[in-house]
A and B are shown apart, each in its own frame.
Chain A
Amino acid sequence: MTKIKLSNVSKSYQIGTELVHALQNISLEIEEGEFLAIVGPSGSGKSTLLHMIGGLDTPTEGTIEVDGLDLGKQNDKKLSAYRSKKIGYIFQDFKLQAHLTAEENVGIPQLFYKGKTDRQPQAMLKKVDLANRLHHKPTELSGGQRQRVAIARALINKPDIIIADEPTGNLDSLTGKNIINLLKKIHKEEGITLIVVTHDQNIAKHADRIVEIKDGILKKKNNFKKFMN
């Protein structure tokens, strides 16, 4: 069942007098529960695509539908509700709030969530093996632990889609591997649609499908083996 449908999506920015085409005419369908990796060189438009799926940005042309909801037609309030309810964000640089504890960071999305959620920050931190780091601030945690906190934060509102932008980009290879395994486990356990932007082939190889973007244009849609070939 199609969860996300992108139809002829383009995104342009005006930088000074120059019009930059970040994405051009992208069409893509992502199935419910799919693990999709988006790869491509820096500046190719991967993150722009991710942000548009995540409701942080809107396309200049084309449509993005998530569960039939056309994101381009939603106002700010509805997009916020969409992010709160359906999306869990994981960033390369974790984006935790330095003055809050792990538990408080994980609990933040709940402040803005209107529906009911039975998830507790403690339980989420336990799920990512950080039950003993509830009251630690980000500066008291390692890089891998911080990313685990970010994952717990992404899961707290029981989202349908997890969007991860270079989740291992700031981590060493071993820690990165652990994070990939964790994401894979969560994907499997929760049946979440997982979209990961990455340079890391170790992540990409776990994906159900890989898409490559180059100069804002969607080049390939394949599984890892075909992609490597």
Chain B
Amino acid sequence: MFLLAKKNLLAQKGRTILTTIGVAIGTASLLGILAFSNGLRAAVIESITSKGSLTQLTVRPKAGEAGFLRSFTQLSENSLKPEDLEKLAQINHVEATYPQINYENLSSLRVTLLGQSFQTDSMIFGLPFELLEEDIIRPEQITNESEEPYPAIISRRIIDLYNVTVAPTNSLPSFKEEDISGIEFIVLPGQSTFFPQLGSDGPSRKARIAGFSTKVDLVGITLPIDVVRQLNKEANPDYEEKYPKIFLEVDEERNVPIVAEQIESLGYISSSAQEEIQIFEQNFRIITVGLSMISLMILFVSGLTIANTFLSAVNERKEEIGILRAVGATRGHIQKIFLTEAALLGLIGGISGTIIAYIAGFAVDAIALASFPNVSNKPETLLIYDLPTIIGIIIFAVILSTFFAFIPATRAAHLKPLEALSE
């Protein structure tokens, strides 16, 4: 029966090819959209998880965020306190706490880059470097030697910003992380180029870029928490530690929502990569469904073409149907022959569509990525094809073709043998 269906399709090459193209276009567009969705989703999730693993949570005070201006003007009234840190550490499933502190004074940096020396104001943040272990490029430079420059971590995003906006507009070279890691610069605690009258003179310190992270704040450098604590004490002997945010490490991914709930009940705000991913997935699902609907419409139109093709075929092949009925074919056999032909069309169309999507995908991917800015988390591909989706789409094309051929096949099956023969 399968061979007969195959022969029948081959006998009508032109029609078969045109119908197959219809199915292939529908399949290719559906697969392309799903591959793009997969690629985009993976890129966004990669970007989210780069800010913190799926077992990490960030806790902030509820009433307003201790942001840039608050820290800058030493008005961080809403920061978290050591007793908050203690409370958070006692929550079940919390394995570690990593508080962030700010240098609560003005500060600036003196940097020599590309042969040019310049000084600029900058925030200084302090974090336990255990949190940033994965981001430290030169761990050998992290020492407790007081003579050694402070190891500094800077935000990956600030380099991206420079490479995408500052460098091209000012004809400056772009930087790679490895180009600037290890560069030494001067930290000037208490000094300000923006508000010199508010500043105070203090001893300058050497620092060296030890790594890049997406976890650290954008506008400043991050030093080991003990260094910043010491700088704060030097600036203000009555310094009381405050934390604009605290990172928590939870024992298992599945416990993150439980911990988040407890944090909220204690009156804090929590955020996590898991939560961000959930929100993203919710919004993204709507987009994917919308795009898939367009592709399904294309496939639906292909299906209508199949229905039309088979309806014409039934009229043209009446004598053939009559012969088959005369030599013993039942209605079921006739229906099966037509449905097998449709399924074969769907299969060939589905496979061709997959190949088209792949080839077109490579081209689109190459063009799109070439025009994509050279940022640190630039995705390697915008299109991700996964085998279950490909198999699912091919099966879907087969089912759809068969579905749309059902009425013509049934009509063929119900032709009276004698009437069909006398055509």
A interface residues, Cβ below 8 angstroms from B: 51, 54, 56-57, 76-77, 80-81, 83-85, 89, 95, 97-100, 104, 108-109, 111-113, 153, 157
Contacts and interface: CB of A to CB of B under 8 A. Distances in A.
B415 to A, nearest CB: 11
Interface residues of B, number: 23
Interface string B321-332: 011111111111
The 4 closest A-B pairs by CB, nearest first: A84-B328, A99-B11, A112-B328, A109-B327
B8 A83 contact: no
Interface in B299-337: 319-320, 322-333
A146 B319 CA distance: 17
A111 B333 contact: yes
A108 B418 contact: no
Contacts of B330: 76-77, 80-81, 112
A97 B323 contact: yes
Given A95-B319, A97-B320, A99-B8, A112 B327 contact: yes
B8 A95 contact: no
A4 B330 CA distance: 23
A187 to B, nearest CB: 20
Contact of A85 (B1, B328, B329, B417): B328
Given A56-B417, A56-B421, A57-B418, A99 B10 contact: yes
13 contacts: A56-B418, A76-B331, A77-B331, A95-B319, A97-B320, A108-B323, A108-B327, A109-B327, A111-B1, A111-B4, A112-B327, A112-B330, A112-B333
B7 interface: yes
Contact of A108 (B324, B331, B332, B421): B324
Nearest to A51: B418
Contacts of A56: 325-326, 417-418, 421
Interface string B71-93: 00000000000000000000000
A104 B327 contact: no
A12 to B, nearest CB: 15
Contacts of A104: 4, 7
Nearest to B8: A99
A57 B422 CA distance: 12
B325 to A, nearest CB: 7
Interface in B1-51: 1, 4, 7-8, 10-11
A108 B324 CA distance: 8
A57 B325 CA distance: 12
Contacts of A97: 320, 323
Contacts of A83: 325-328
A104 to B, nearest CB: 7
A111 B340 CA distance: 14
Contacts of B10: 99
A100 B7 contact: yes
Nearest to A83: B328
B421 A95 contact: yes
B10 to A, nearest CB: 7
Given A97-B320, A111-B333, A112-B333, A54 B326 contact: yes
A123 B370 CA distance: 66
Which of B8, B322, B323 counts the most chain A CB atoms within 10 A?
B323
A95 B328 contact: no
B329 A112 contact: yes
Nearest to B330: A80
A99 B333 CA distance: 19
A104 B319 CA distance: 17
Given A54-B326, A111-B1, A112-B327, 20 more contacts: A56-B325, A76-B330, A77-B332, A80-B328, A80-B333, A83-B325, A83-B326, A83-B328, A84-B328, A89-B326, A95-B322, A95-B323, A95-B326, A97-B320, A104-B7, A108-B4, A108-B324, A109-B328, A112-B330, A113-B328
B324 A112 contact: yes
B8 A81 contact: no
A83 B326 CA distance: 7
Which of B328, B332, B333, B418 counts the most chain A CB atoms within 10 A?
B328
A54 B323 CA distance: 13
Interface string B319-361: 1101111111111110000000000000000000000000000
A172 B129 CA distance: 102
B7 A99 contact: yes
